[in-house]
Amino acid sequence: MYKGAFNVEREWNEANNTVPLQIPTTHIKTIKRSTIIHEFDHTSSTEILIPQEQDDYLSDASQLLERGIQQQQAGEFVAATKSLQESLALFQAFGDLPRQAQSFNSLALVAYNSGDYKSAISYSQQCLNLVGNTSDLRLRLQALSHIGNSYRHLGNQEQAIEYLNNCLDVASSQGDKRSQVAALNNLGLVYKAQGDLQKAIALKEQSLKLVRELQDNWGEEQVLKNLGNTWYTLGDYTKAIAYYQECMKISRILKNHRNAVQVLKNLGNAFYAVGDYQQAIQYYEERLQLATKMEDNNTQEQSLRSLGVASEALGNYPNAINYYEQCLELAKAIKDSRREQQVLSSLKVACYTLGDYTKAMKYERMINKE
């Protein structure tokens, strides 16, 4: 049986590893996962021929913009795109350039969160064209960040580095530590994707230093996880464990269960890789309990399978079979035939090893039936 390192599986959208750009200003607010959006000032107006009529249109446009932002926050990306495009058309009709830029920026965020990275780049470029080099640094920083991160996801790492470095330069010149944290971390992700892991670690360590100065627990949690992932990829499981454990301390304080189930799995895998199967089981058990509390069947199934593998590594086949049997029931419940086949194969092998040939043959028949 193979007892080497598990891969750190990407169970979540890798965009979640990206630290969203945070820009301190009276016109912004935080949304889910610390993403920053703009509040819009409805008091501004331009010279018009029919004041009341244009005021009505601008009011409608502003309401559509706010509605689009709310829909984005709720994950209603199709509806958000429709609302934001309608608001953009109205702002364009009346030549309101600042709010056009805000609409393009919001559309870029929706596209990015939807995984439509080409559209995110297009919207952000149009935002940059409107804000120029100096007129609105807030929007400029966000647009540069969206473009850089989108290029990373598209595999164009050189372009990603160019835009994220530009973002870092602007943030540094303004003494904007939050934006520096985001840019450094996200640059680290690009260099990790290129295979330059030492460069990635150096950038993330700079990001960690700044985020600790800001006493930003949410940002620190993300950076610690990314550092753990990078050391894991390098095969330095001891350092990976140290960062993951620091990350878990913060996740428990914040009660960030979604992050915790990711890190607990990686901790279990890292301890498995160094041969400490008992400690691996402890973290897999904690992950299972949390997944059960969250009613997350997929994570429960994965945790039970990991517990089965670790129990086999300890030679505790009765426990392994028990975990696998629970895992099988969940695989059936979520109607995942591929996982069912995998668990049945594990059950067959464990039963043969234990000497329970009757059960082993039963699982063999179930495999062939599938």
R_g (Cα) of the chain, nearest Å: 25
- pLDDT of 13 reads 35
What is the mean pLDDT of the segment spanning 178-184? 94
> For residues 48 and 33, is the Cβ–Cβ distance under 8 A?
no
Range in 3-12, 23-32, 96-105, 131-140 the model is least confident about: 23-32
| Long-range residue pairs from 338-345, CB within 8 A, at least 24 positions apart, any chain | 339/301, 339/305, 340/370, 341/367, 341/370, 342/305, 343/305, 344/370
Q: Which three-class secondary structure state does DSSP give residue 154? A: coil
- pLDDT of 55 reads 63
CATH number given to 14-213: 1.25.40.10
Assess whether pLDDT exceeds 60 at residue 215. yes
Assess whether pLDDT exceeds 60 at residue 43. no
38 phi/psi in degrees, rounded to 5: -100, 140
As a whole number of angstroms, the distance between CA 187 and CA 185 comes to: 5
DSSP string, 245-268: HHHHHHHHHHT-HHHHHHHHHHHH
DSSP string, 118-166: HHHHHHHHHHHHHHTTTT-HHHHHHHHHHHHHHHHHTT-HHHHHHHHHH
As a whole number of angstroms, the distance between CA 277 and CA 127 comes to: 52
The Cβ of residue 12 has, within 10 Å, a number of other Cβ atoms equal to: 12
> For residues 38 and 28, is the Cβ–Cβ distance under 8 A?
yes
Please report which confidence band the pLDDT of residue 356 belongs to, taking 50, 70 and 90 as the band edges: very high
Among 149, 179, 215, CA closest to 23: 179
What are 138's two structure tokens?
């807030």
pLDDT averaged over every residue in the chain: 85
What is the mean pLDDT of the segment spanning 236-242? 98
Number of H helices, E strands in the chain: 16, 2
pLDDT over 90 percentage in the chain? 75
What are 275's two structure tokens?
């041969």
What are 368's two structure tokens?
């062939």
Among 115, 119, 48, 33, CA closest to 84: 119
Cα angle 8-9-11, degrees, rounded to a multiple of 5: 135
As a whole number of angstroms, the distance between CA 325 and CA 362 comes to: 13
Q: Which three-class secondary structure state does DSSP give residue 37? A: strand
As a whole number of angstroms, the distance between CA 366 and CA 370 comes to: 6
Range in 21-25, 58-62, 250-254, 308-312 the model is least confident about: 21-25
Highest-confidence range of 38-47, 52-61, 271-280, by mean pLDDT? 271-280
> For residues 109 and 128, is the Cβ–Cβ distance under 8 A?
no
Assess whether pLDDT exceeds 70 at residue 125. yes
What pTM value is reported for the model? 0.79
The Cβ of residue 137 has, within 10 Å, a number of other Cβ atoms equal to: 18
- pLDDT of 334 reads 87
Assess whether pLDDT exceeds 60 at residue 93. yes
Please report which confidence band the pLDDT of residue 52 belongs to, taking 50, 70 and 90 as the band edges: very low
> For residues 140 and 179, is the Cβ–Cβ distance under 8 A?
no
- pLDDT of 135 reads 66
> Which residues, 6 or more positions from 51, have their beta carbon under 8 angstroms from its beta carbon?
none
The Cβ of residue 198 has, within 10 Å, a number of other Cβ atoms equal to: 10
Give whole-number Cα distances, 142 to 15, 49, 145, 177, 223, in Å. Answer: 15, 34, 5, 14, 19
What is the mean pLDDT of the segment spanning 318-329? 95
- pLDDT of 42 reads 30
pLDDT tens by residue, 77-87: 999 999 999 99
> Which residues, 6 or more positions from 65, have their beta carbon under 8 angstroms from its beta carbon?
40, 83, 84, 87, 99, 102, 103, 106
